[in-house]
Structure 1
Amino acid sequence: MKRVIIIIVVIVVALGGIAYVLSNNKKKNEAKTAFIAQGGGAVAVRIATVEKKVVDLDFVANGNFVPKQELNFLSENAGRVSKIYVDEGDHVTKGQVLARVDAEIINTDKETAAANYQNALRDEARYQSSYETGGVTQQQLDQAKLATQNAKLRLQASQRKVSDANIKAPITGIINKRYIEVGAFVNTQGTQLFEIVDVSKLKLRVNVNESQVANLKIGDKIDIKSSVFPTDKFNGKVTFIAAKADETLNFPIEIEVDNNAKTSLKAGMYGTAVFNFPKQAPGILVPRTAFVGSVSSNQVFVLDKANNTSKIRQVIAGRILGDSVEILDGLNEGETVITSGQINLAEGTPVSIVK
């Protein structure tokens, strides 16, 4: 019996809650209806005046500097490090010897390859002589020539390894990190030796939105500022513009920056790109909310001031500039567009302006 009473109480409470929610929704709908009906049955709307303004395309974007070139240099031969000629912070040029790996085993391989190559040459000469007298076949002579060629290639490979015993800088830059010491053993699996960075030129990576990227192109000259060196001036040019937006719907771009003679800028510092554009001619601008549905519809409602009614107008939208949209055709300066309540409008609908 108690269980039945509990169930009845729960049902009554649930029904009461539903009734409360429905009552609340009814009040909200009545409030919306009252707003729409302001002005004696006319649809309540908000308006904006069509203005001609100078479009300012200038903007700034913040990012951080990265090296133009950055290389983690790995070992190519196995051996023990016998000498190191540079230290962290040293400036090196391409081809400069940085360290040397003990080449004892490598030299032995080279001597063996050289001996095998000489033997192959003598064998080929004997086969050539025998072939001329009919002692061997053409096939045997061809095999001797192939053996000589293979021996030559092995000798060249061993000579390359001996040359690689001198570890040389593959790029010009600064030794940012040294990972080896004299006596350390490196292997052919790619032991990390040095990290070399080139900061004579840096890249400033920033993100821009769709309206900003539309005005950029490869090669554009950009002014660069650094809060660390506020009195120094840096120049850059756009070298990369992403063809696809990232997950935040922004477009990554890269600006190559010439470091000054003092090499003031360091990779990892923050920088500001200042994008300056030529002065634009004044253009017709309207609020983005004036469009029916979305900007792509190319339709707005204008106010017929004589009759206080709405008139649909076909326009051609241009650039989206923040909360405003450039109108290329379809509107004139001084006209009035409707910016809210369009969902309740049609051609000739009476409207009441809400201030």
Structure 2
Amino acid sequence: MALLVVPRFFGDEEPAGPAAGGAGGPRGNDTLAVTVAPVSQELLEDRVTTTGTLLPWEAVEVRAEVAGRVVALNFAEGSFVGQGQTLVSLDTEVLRAQIEGARTRRDLARTQAQRYRELFEIGGLSRQELDQADSEARVLDAQLAELAAEVRRRQVVAPFAGEIGLRQVSVGAYVAPGDPIATLRITGQLRLEFTVPERYLGQIREGQPVRFSVPGQEDPFVGTIYATEPNVDASTRAFTVRARVRNPGGVLVPGAFAEVELVLDEIPEALLIPTASVITGADSTTVFVVRDGTAVPRAITTGVRTTDRIQVTSGLSPDDVVLTSGLNQVRPGQAIRTGGAFDPTQVRPASTTAEERAYQTAD
């Protein structure tokens, strides 16, 4: 939170003695030691920071569709599997015996239907008898197809290509319909999910870049926004945003915590001064600038505020130098001595977060 500094311009108690200056005159001869800082001009990023979570691009819990005994596991835990690859095979011995029986009956029915057709052509039987024979053959075809489908349902396959997790079953185990087998994820591309306060809803757009960092990784990463939740959560007054993140090397892990930084606007050649140099009054915002060895007050208007600096939208020029200390003692026109200079290496990058903007001064 910015410190409110109120200068004592008027009504200061004058000390007795020679230090007060000449007879009847103000303390204009007193020289005040101060520190100063030049106005900097640079690119300013207006940004919002939040936290998010990395999620797999796609994830599904692979489950058994039917009941049965596990006879084969066809994947290695943590490996990559292809789309349609058989992961688990359930026992199909009884079904295959039923298929053999159904196939024999179907073949016999087809042969009989062919004979009936030949007899029908020479008038040896009626159309009804021929239709009955054809119907029996078709029913057996349907039964055979149903049994084949039951066999396929006992082969649990990967719905898409991805990384398979730890298995939850073993060979010989009996699984019921819906029992989990393993989790399948797409991790070569991830989703970064985070929330943003509702006041920024109009500033978030598809294709907008997002910077983020994760624990254990020194370098930051970049994603691209591809979707936003159209509704605002009434309890948090925030909305959900999703960004696409490329992860070809598998460096990023689903479920990881992420510190997210979203640039909302870029202000080229913004004028910035230390927040310590700003005097905020009830109706005005003022700084003291250095002019010919004296301190001259200057009214300014401000914009975006960062942790250590504030944007000046009017009242200063790039070649101005402002006081950063002695603001409680300095008087307009007072002679000053620059006993030190503001250290620009201690200034943070020109950017502002949502929390910092809550303390902005709009004049």
For Structure 1 versus Structure 2, the TM-score category normalised by the shorter chain is: 0.5 to 0.7
Q: What's the offset of the Cα at 1:160?
A: 3.2
- Tell me the percent identity: 24
Check 1:155–1:191 CA distance in 2 against 1; reply closer, same or farther (3 A cut).
same
Correspondence list, 1:229-244, <5 A? 229-231=217-219, 233-244=220-231
Contact in 1 for aligned 2:78/2:163 (Cα 8 Å): yes
* Partner in structure 2 of residue 287 of structure 1: none
8 Å CA contact 1:234, 1:259 repeated in 2: no
Distance 1:206 1:105 in 2: 51
Question: Are 2:228 and 1:216 equivalent residues in the alignment?
Answer: no
Classify 1:76/1:115 alpha carbon distance in 2 versus 1 (closer, same or farther; 3 Å).
farther
- RMSD (Å) for aligned C-alpha atoms: 3.2
Cα contact 1:176–1:195 (8 A) shared by 2? yes
Deviation at 1:199?
A: 1.6
**Quick one: structure 1 residues 167 and 280, their matched pair in 2 at CA, closer, same or farther if it must change by over 3 Å?**
same
Q: 2:72 maps to which residue? A: 83
Query: C-alpha displacement at 1:115, in angstroms?
Result: 1.9
Q: Give the Å deviation of 1:73.
A: 1.1
Residue 100 of structure 1 corresponds to: 89
Query: Within 1, Cα distance between the matches of 2:60 and 2:158?
Result: 10
Q: Any residues of structure 2 matched to 1:242-261 within 5 Å, and which?
A: 242-247=229-234, 248-261=236-249
What is the CA-CA distance between 1:208 and the residue it aligns to? Answer: 1.4
2 CA distance for matches of 1:209 and 1:169? 39
Separation (CA, whole Å) in 1 of partners of 2:264 and 2:196:
15
- Superposition map of 1:1-355 within 5 A: 57-187=46-176, 189-231=177-219, 233-247=220-234, 248-261=236-249, 263-279=250-266
Query: How far off is 1:264 after superposition?
Result: 1.9
Gaps of 5+ in 1: 1-53, 283-320, 323-332, 335-355
SS across alignment from 2:233: coil
Distance 1:202 1:116, change over 3 A: same
Give unmatched runs, 5+ long, in structure 2: 1-42, 270-303, 306-313, 316-363
SS at match of 1:279: strand
Whether the 8 Å CA contact 1:224–1:235 is kept in 2: the answer is yes
- Whether the 8 Å CA contact 1:234–1:258 is kept in 2: the answer is no
Please report how far the alpha carbon of residue 57 of structure 1 lies from its aligned counterpart in structure 2 after TM superposition. 4.4
Structure 1 pair 135–272 and aligned structure 2 pair: CA distance change class (3 A):
farther
Alpha-carbon spacing, 1:252–1:126, altered in 2? closer, same or farther (3 Å): same
SS at match of 2:94: helix
**Structure with higher helix content:** 1
Contact 2:204 2:264 in 1 (8 A): no
In structure 2, the residue matched to 1:307 is: none
- The 8 Å contact of residues 103 and 162 in structure 1, kept in 2 or not, is answered as yes
Q: Provide the TM-score with structure 2 as the length reference.
A: 0.56
Displacement after TM superposition at 1:254 (Å): 1.3
Using a 3 Å threshold, how does the CA distance of structure 1 residues 119 and 228 change in structure 2: closer, same or farther? same
Which one has more relative contact order, counting CA pairs under 8 Å at least 6 apart?
A: 2
* Equivalent-residue separation in structure 1 for 2:76 and 2:173 (angstroms): 15
Count of equivalent residues:
232
* Cα displacement (A) at 1:178: 1.0
Cα 1:147/1:211, change in 2 over 3 Å? farther
CA contact (8 A) 2:70 2:88 kept: yes
Aligned-partner residue type, residue 194 of structure 1? A
1:252-271 Cα shifts (integer Å, max 9, x gaps): 1211211141x122121111
Superposition TM-score, scaled by structure 1 size = 0.57
Q: Deviations over 1:20-61 (max 9, x none)?
A: xxxxxxxxxxxxxxxxxxxxxxxxxxxxxxxxxx99642222
CA distance in 1, matches of 2:267, 2:142: 66
> d(CA) in 2 for partners of 1:107 and 1:81?
16
Amino acid at match of 2:253: K
